[in-house]
C-alpha cells in the first residue's frame, strides 16, 4: 500500500521530491527496498500533518508547498495534486487545500452501511459556495432525510479525499498549536485548522470511474484490491 501511494506521488509532474515520513523502521525498510526516500520522524506525532511538519523541518527548504498523500488512501487520483497547488496560488488567503468528490450512489451506500454497523467509514465535508470548508466529519453530513429518492442520482454528500496541500508557514503554525477540541472528538486533524481560524479551500473534483474508498475497516481491503485490479494496478 505504501509503494502504491509513493507511485501515485511520483507520478505528479513538477514535484521537487517524494519522501515517505514514518517512525516505523519496518516501513522505512520497505520503502528503501522499492527505491523510495525516507525521512524518519518522532513517534509522538499526533497525526499525518504533524508528521509532515516535522519531516519538512528535517528535509529543509525543498519547496514552497507541501503535499501530504496518506498511505491508507491508495485510490486517490494523483492528478488532483496540481489542482490543490493551483488553488493555493490563486487564493492567497487559504492555509491549505484539500479535495472532495460528490458521492456516487455506491459510495453513499458504503458510508451509510458503515455507520449503520457502528463502523467509522470515510470522512465527509460541507463547504460554502466559495469552496471554504465549514466542517469535516466521520458522520455522513449533511443529513439527507430518507437518503436519496433516486438510487442512480448522486447523493447531496461530498466525500473528503485524504490529500492535503499546505503552505510551509501553515505547517509551522499547526505544529505549534495544541490538539483542538473538535479534532480530538472526531479524530480529524484538519479540524485543528478550522478551530484556529485558518481557512481551508475545498477543491471539488469530477466524478471518478471508481469509488475512492480509503482503508478504514478490514472489509475495505477487498474493495480496494478489487478496484486496483480493475484499473490494471497490481
Q: What is the pLDDT of residue 219?
A: 62
Residue range(s) defining the domain that contains residue 154: 2-230
Q: What is the pLDDT of residue 234?
A: 52
Q: What is the pLDDT of residue 218?
A: 62
Task: Domain count for the chain, please give it.
Answer: 1
Q: What is the pLDDT of residue 112?
A: 87
- Residue whose C-alpha is closest to residue 126's, from 191, 173, 196: 191
Q: What is the pLDDT of residue 73?
A: 56
Over the chain (234 residues), the average pLDDT of each successive run of 10 is: 80 86 94 93 92 92 86 64 92 95 85 85 92 95 69 74 91 93 95 97 79 58 58 51
CATH of the domain at 218: 3.90.550.10
DSSP calls for the chain: -HHHHHHHHHTSTT-S--EEEES-HHHHHHHHHTT-EEEE--TT--SHHHHHHHHHHHH-S--SEEEEE-TT-TTS-TTHHHHHHHHHHH-TT-SEEEEEEEPPHHHHHHHHHHHHTT-----EEEE-TT-BEEEEESS-SS--TTS-SSTTSPPS-EEEPSEEEEEHHHHHHHHHSPPPHHHHHHT-TTHHHHHTT--EEEEEEPPPSS------STTHHHHHHHHHHHTT--
Amino acid at each position: 500500500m505504501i509503494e502504491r501511494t509513493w507511485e501515485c506521488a511520483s507520478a505528479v509532474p513538477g514535484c521537487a521530491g517524494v519522501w515517505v515520513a514514518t517512525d516505523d523502521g519496518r516501513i522505512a525498510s520497505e520503502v528503501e527496498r522499492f527505491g523510495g526516500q525516507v525521512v524518519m520522524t518522532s513517534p509522538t506525532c499526533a497525526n499525518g500533518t504533524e508528521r509532515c511538519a516535522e519531516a519538512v523541518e528535517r528535509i529543509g527548504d525543498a519547496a514552497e508547498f507541501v503535499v501530504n498523500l496518506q498511505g491508507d488512501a491508495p485510490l486517490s487520483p494523483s492528478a488532483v495534486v496540481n489542482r490543490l497547488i493551483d488553488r493555493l496560488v490563486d487564493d492567497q488567503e487559504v492555509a491549505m487545500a484539500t479535495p472532495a468528490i460528490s458521492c456516487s450512489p455506491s459510495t453513499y451506500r458504503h458510508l451509510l452501511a458503515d455507520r449503520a454497523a457502528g463502523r467509522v467509514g470515510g470522512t465527509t465535508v460541507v463547504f460554502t459556495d466559495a469552496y471554504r470548508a465549514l466542517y469535516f466529519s466521520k458522520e455522513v453530513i449533511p443529513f439527507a432525510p430518507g437518503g436519496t429518492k433516486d438510487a442512480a442520482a448522486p447523493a447531496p454528500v461530498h466525500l473528503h479525499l485524504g490529500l492535503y496541500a499546505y503552505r510551509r508557514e501553515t505547517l509551522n503554525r499547526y505544529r505549534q498549536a495544541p490538539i483542538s477540541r473538535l479534532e480530538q472528538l472526531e479524530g480529524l486533524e484538519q479540524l485543528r485548522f478550522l478551530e484556529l481560524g485558518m481557512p481551508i479551500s475545498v477543491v471539488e473534483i469530477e466524478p471518478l470511474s471508481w469509488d475512492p474508498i480509503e482503508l478504514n475497516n478490514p472489509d475495505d481491503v477487498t474493495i480496494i484490491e478489487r478496484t486496483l485490479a480493475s484499473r490494471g494496478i497490481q
